[in-house]
């Protein structure tokens, strides 16, 4: 009897449990293989190419590539433009992440306490999330325009001095941060609202029996601890989203006035696609990814210790 036939006969005579134990890993690997291949081709491979490019002096359109080691990184940390973009990005994140998380939590608690109209208000506050960033940025650019903007016309009608938010070096970055806070708060509100639906009413009754008559006390001692997993997720995602600011800068300020809104991604874009220095742009991207990974890891490690998992 041929060896293949003998093997197939022996397999067919195996008990179902043993046969399942042999085939299950093979089936699992076979089903996972296309996803793993897609992940490698679309994510891992481009990252590896970018890391390799960061060690070269490659310029867009050139046929030759010169290996320069850590030359791009050494040049970056001595570049005033890159340092300014790094500082502006951190300042932007510090404004956007805490404010969007707290505002989203506040809106979720406020709407959850309403007896009527909860769906309507959730829809209203979630609408900015559905809008395209470019369209949203253009609307805000008009609203806060220094001469024709409705906001400044209102200030002038009240006898107050007008503000050119995006033309003022001290206000431009804060104006961009306000736009992102406005758009992120609705998304965070939905996440917190979903977390609030999972808080058992029995715990509130037990807290009231223990003497917590104040809603604020019950919020601090019952609601907030049970929202720990949602809060950790919202903080991490809001921070990453704030780090990735690009669209509003590209549409509204173009890094100005006088570099006050230069951020990492916009500076990287200019370096790669305006000045065609792809090696330097790749080094900026590697630094950007490293910063985001460190922030996400620190937040997860610190917050995970304080999160209450039910």
Please tell me whether residues 28 and 168 are part of one structural domain. Answer: no
Give the model's pLDDT for residue 93.
94
In a domain, 58, yes or no: no
What does the alpha-carbon distance between residue 140 and residue 38 come to, in Å, rounded to a whole number? 38
Q: What is the pLDDT of residue 18?
A: 55
Residue 166 lies in a domain: yes
* 7 and 152, same domain (yes or no): no
Burial of 245 (0-12, 13-18, 19+ CB in 10 A): buried
Q: Quick one: 144 and 175 in the same domain?
A: yes
Predicted pLDDT at 7: 47
Return the pLDDT at 105.
92
Same domain, 21 and 160: no
- Write the CATH number for 242: 1.10.3720.10
Which tens digits make up the pLDDT trace of 22-48? 556 777 778 788 888 998 898 889 889
pTM for the full predicted model:
0.84
Give pLDDT, residue 48.
Answer: 92
Same domain, 141 and 16: no
pLDDT for position 308: 58
pLDDT at 286: 92
Q: Is 211 exposed, middle or buried (0-12, 13-18, 19+ CB in 10 A)?
A: exposed
* 88 and 44 within one domain: no
Same domain, 153 and 265: yes
Domain count, the chain: 2
Output phi, psi for 56, to 5 deg.
-125, 170
Same domain, 37 and 114: no
CA–CA gap between residue 106 and residue 237 (Å, rounded): 18
184-197: b or e for each residue (b if 16 or more CB lie within 10 Å)? Answer: bbbbbbbbbbebbe
Q: Are residues 195 and 238 in the same domain?
A: yes
Any idea what DSSP says for residue 161? P
Q: What is the pLDDT of residue 249?
A: 92
Assess whether 19 and 152 both reside in one domain: no
| Domain of residue 28, residue span | 3-53
Q: Is residue 132 part of a domain?
A: yes
Whether 22 is in a domain gets the answer: yes
- Would you say residue 59 lies in a domain? no
Low-confidence residues of the chain: pLDDT under 70: 1-24, 210, 213, 303-310
pLDDT of residue 287: 92
Please check whether residues 106 and 214 belong to one and the same domain.
yes
> Residues 49, 90: one domain?
no
């Amino acid at each position: 009897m041929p060896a293949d036939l003998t093997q197939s006969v022996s397999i067919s005579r195996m008990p179902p449990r043993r046969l399942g134990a042999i085939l299950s890993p093979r089936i699992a690997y076979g089903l996972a293989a296309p996803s793993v291949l897609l992940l490698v081709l679309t994510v891992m491979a481009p990252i590896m190419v970018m890391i390799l490019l960061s060690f070269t002096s490659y310029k867009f359109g050139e046929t030759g590539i010169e290996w320069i080691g850590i030359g791009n990184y050494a040049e970056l940390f001595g570049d005033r433009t890159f340092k300014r973009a790094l500082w502006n990005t951190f300042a932007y994140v510090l404004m956007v992440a805490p404010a969007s998380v707290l505002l989203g939590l506040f809106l979720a608690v406020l709407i959850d306490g309403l007896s009527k109209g909860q769906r309507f208000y959730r829809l209203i506050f979630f609408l900015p999330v559905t809008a395209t960033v470019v369209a949203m940025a253009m609307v805000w650019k008009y609203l806060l325009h220094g001469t024709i903007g409705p906001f400044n016309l209102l200030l002038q009608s009240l006898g107050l001095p007008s503000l050119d938010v995006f033309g003022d070096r001290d206000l431009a970055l804060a104006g961009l941060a306000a736009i992102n806070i406005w758009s992120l708060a609705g998304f965070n509100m939905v996440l917190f609202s979903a977390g609030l639906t999972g808080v058992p009413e029995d715990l509130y009754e037990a807290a009231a029996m223990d003497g917590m008559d104040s809603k604020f006390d019950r919020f601090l001692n019952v609601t907030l601890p049970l929202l720990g997993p949602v809060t950790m997720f919202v903080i991490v995602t809001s921070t990453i989203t704030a780090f990735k600011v690009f669209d509003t800068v590209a549409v509204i300020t173009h890094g100005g006035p006088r570099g006050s809104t230069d951020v990492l991604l916009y500076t990287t874009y200019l370096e790669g696609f305006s000045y065609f220095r792809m090696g330097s742009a790749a080094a900026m991207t590697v630094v950007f990814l490293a910063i985001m990974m460190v922030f996400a890891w620190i937040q997860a490690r610190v917050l995970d210790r304080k999160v209450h998992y039910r």
